[in-house]
Amino acid sequence: MADSELKNIALLIDADNTMPNGIDPVLTVMAELGQVNIRRAYGNFAKDNLAGWETITNKFGIRPQQQFDVSKGKNATDMAMTIDAIDLLYQGKVDGFGLMTSDSDFTPLVTRLRQDGIIVYGFGEAKTPQAFKSVCTRFIDIKKLIATNASENSIGQKEAKSSDASVDEDLNELITAAYSEAKKDQGFARLSQVGQIAGNRSSFDVRNYGFKSLKDLFESLDNFRLETRDDNQVYVKRER
């Protein structure tokens, strides 16, 4: 991809509701969308529980946005992060957002960004309310992302996949339905189209299940067969 084609991506971090050790794998995921040129973390960094962010912000070039607790029970951090996101939207210089938070209060913000055709990746814990997960283009369980990244670095992708990856009933139903809807040639559907259909139906992302790619997921299934053709495209066919 030429430099002129690179997308400008913003990563906004709710430091009160996320994990500092997730920054590295999150930035790796966001690189799928373009260059993460805007990196901001929001919180009251005067608090002891946010002390660890000083090292993280310096290491990854993140700009800390200090927000003092102006009154008890009010979250100035959420407000500041939302205002900045809308400002960036109206400046028209951002092509996609990453939001690191498990706070469902950001659901209206994500809904508004996506109304303008902006891609929004959410990164939070499994306990994050479904309302927030559903409105994101992709929602990724940050704990699983951290664990998968650590496993691949220490013992290799193949071993990590066999120990961490799993396909539950809901996931199997989703990908089977996506395959059924995809355009087929003698029973084969283009894998990228299957992934796109699954993504349109939900905030589906294979990393939530311990897989690095959609190809890895289908390779783990006995009832699907993969085929790479001369056009370097991967196709999938249901065997039974």
Spans of all domains in the chain: 3-149, 165-238
Q: How high is the pLDDT of residue 229?
A: 87
Q: What helix, strand, coil percent values describe the chain, rounded to 5? A: 50, 20, 30
The separation between CA 212 and the C-alpha centre of its own chain, rounded to angstroms, equals 12
Q: How far is CA 15 from CA 55, 190, 206, in A?
A: 13, 39, 25
The answer to whether 195 and 214 are in contact (CB under 8 A) is: yes
Q: How high is the pLDDT of residue 196?
A: 80
Q: Which two three-digit tokens encode residue 208? A: 């939530």
The separation between CA 182 and the C-alpha centre of its own chain, rounded to angstroms, equals 24
Q: How high is the pLDDT of residue 240?
A: 72
What CATH number labels 165-238? 3.30.420.610
Domain 3-149: CATH architecture, name and number where available: 3-Layer(aba) Sandwich (3.40)
Q: How high is the pLDDT of residue 36?
A: 92
Q: How high is the pLDDT of residue 11?
A: 96
Total number of residues shown for the chain? 240
51 Cβ neighbours under 8 A, 6+ residues apart: 45
205 Cβ neighbours under 8 A, 6+ residues apart: 138, 139, 140, 199
**3-149 and 165-238 share one fold:** no
> Residue 189 in 3-state DSSP?
strand
Question: Tokens 């966001």 map to which residue?
Answer: 30
**Regions of the chain where pLDDT drops below 50:** 1-4, 73, 155-164
